[in-house]
Amino acid sequence: MVSLFDLTGRSALVVGAGSGIGRAAAEGLAAAGARLICADLRIDAAEQTAARIAGCGGAARALEVDITAAESVRRLVEQAGAGGGIDVLVSTPGVNVRKPLLEYSDSEFDRVVGLNLKGTFHLLRAVGAHMAARGRGSIIVLSSIRSLVVEPGQSIYAATKAGLVQMARALAAELGRRGVRVNAIAPGVVETPLTEPIKQRPEWYRAYAEKSALGRWARAEELAGPVVFLASDASSYVTGTVLFVDGGWTAVDGRFDPPL
């Protein structure tokens, strides 16, 4: 059974590898034996992750990418695929503007949709074509519990995360017979730079911890196991699905109205 999780000889591209869930995913995949391409808008952060992996005996290199630009993504896939191809893609970038829908500006809408949804589309289109041509691969996109449940101030972010799920499912249906699996992971509240503002509000932070069945936030490294599972042969018959890693959040009733 242990060999099912072994990624030795495979190449994994993690986009958003410079911090948070992306960094944890990259380190987890490397620990399972994969060669890593750590990509991020901030090349210095990607290089730090690659250095951490190399320091633990793994193989990793860093590349810069702006997923909102199709040409940047095309160059990334060309560089990442050179010398063996891409076996695994993990897409983690996301941005949120917390405010009531009626107060959203057009530019804020465009920013959230442009990165979360269109940026991920750029990645799925480019890497999906690469994997389909090779006849194999696993694509993992990071969605959110907000794809299923919402709260005030999360309208556009939630819409993009729900959109990611449907885009992943459609791609799974389209590429399944070409050897490519596509799945989504939906985390709950996780200690990352994206959620740092919430940590500055003790009441809000505590309410989120108490909402889950486990009574606490997730650590970013707790997402590494689910990523490795979906990347590996342990999930060889899993595609077009959403794996909720939320500490029981979506199973527990109740609501907290965050300050807006």
d(CA 87, CA 85): 6
d(CA 84, CA 87): 9
Among the listed residues 104, 157, 208, 237, the single catalytic one is 157
**257 domain-assigned:** no
**47 domain-assigned:** yes
**256 domain-assigned:** no
Domain with residue 217: its CATH number is 3.40.50.720
- The pTM of the whole model exceeds 0.85: yes
**246 domain-assigned:** yes
Answer for the pair 217, 190: CB distance below 8 angstroms, yes or no: yes
pLDDT in tens, 3-34: 999 999 999 999 999 999 999 999 999 999 99
157 is an active site residue: yes
**260 domain-assigned:** no
How distant, in Å, are the alpha carbons of 16, 126, 133 from that of 44? 12, 24, 32
- Residue 101's domain spans which residues? 2-251
pLDDT in tens, 65-107: 999 999 999 999 999 999 889 999 999 999 999 999 999 999 9
Q: Report how many domains make up the chain.
A: 1
pLDDT in tens, 151-207: 999 999 999 999 999 999 999 999 999 999 999 999 999 998 878 888 889 999 999
Tally Cβ neighbours within 10 Å of residue 9: 10
- Judged on CB neighbours under 10 Å (0-12, 13-18, 19+), 182 is buried
**57 domain-assigned:** yes
